[in-house]
Structure 1
Amino acid sequence: MTNYPQDIIAAYAERKISRGQFKNRFAEWQKKQGRDYSCKGTADKQGVYLTYRNITATIKNDTLHFKTCIDDTANTPFEFRRKVDFYKEAKKKAFERALATMNFYFDKAGEALRNSDSNGFRVNIGKAKDWALIAEERTRIWL
């Protein structure tokens, strides 16, 4: 996360607020930033499940088994949440990188077109289309 709430951290460091107040304010800030760190557990006849940020883990043999883009395991709920957070962050960054690369090649193609470089235009448009497909694929896989 970036742009941490410096006012809350400073108030706690200067002992202006208690540890409990710090936890509550920081949790409120996280929720406002779109971070919900609550895990929900459910159970039925098939098994026991833990859900975090729309990813469900099945508990088998004291291990959490879940699927992101790969089959993964975690030994504790904390580890499960961390892996899910890393997965979500990587998903976002991979899509943004693919989109930025696609835009880079579209700009290069436009520049080649303005310079009457038809060969450069074709090459860069081809690369831009390839990166558009990669961005689309990454969105589909990660959702």
Structure 2
Amino acid sequence: MTMPVRTTLRVRYAETDQMGVVYYANYFVWCEIGRVEFFRQLGHDYKLMETEDDCHLPVVEANCRYRSPARYDEEIQIETRVTLLRGAVIKFSYRLLRAEPGRERLLAEAETVHVCVDKGMLKREMPEKYAAAIRQTIEERV
């Protein structure tokens, strides 16, 4: 699988604030979209990870460096990759870019850290079928 996983979306009016730019918290919503698509590209369904394998990935840390504002109706590309997988901990990195030809620009760089837990919120190892697929994406970049 080619890394990073690329996901495209269009900024909705409801995602903008009074100044006409995307409200800062929406970048984390977009990161979640990228994360779900990352697993889909690996051949795994995020929902089934939870319901069938009792593997939940709550966010325990999130940060974002905003570089340029996004505005209503712009096409955005989310680049998602895993930068760390160690036991129950997984770290994703994201680049959010304006994807319109001739207007490409880096909008933000973000990271989220997750801990694999069961439905009782007890830490557990990432199930091997997911861990193996994720490790392969990390090794492809080395």
Could you say which TM-score interval applies, normalised by the shorter chain? under 0.3
Task: Report the structure, 1 or 2, having the larger helix content.
Answer: 1
Structure (1 or 2) with the larger CA radius of gyration: 1
TM-score by length of 1: 0.20
When the two structures are superposed, what TM-score results if normalisation uses the length of structure 2?
0.20
Of structures 1 and 2, the one scoring higher in RCO (CA 8 A, sep 6+) is 2
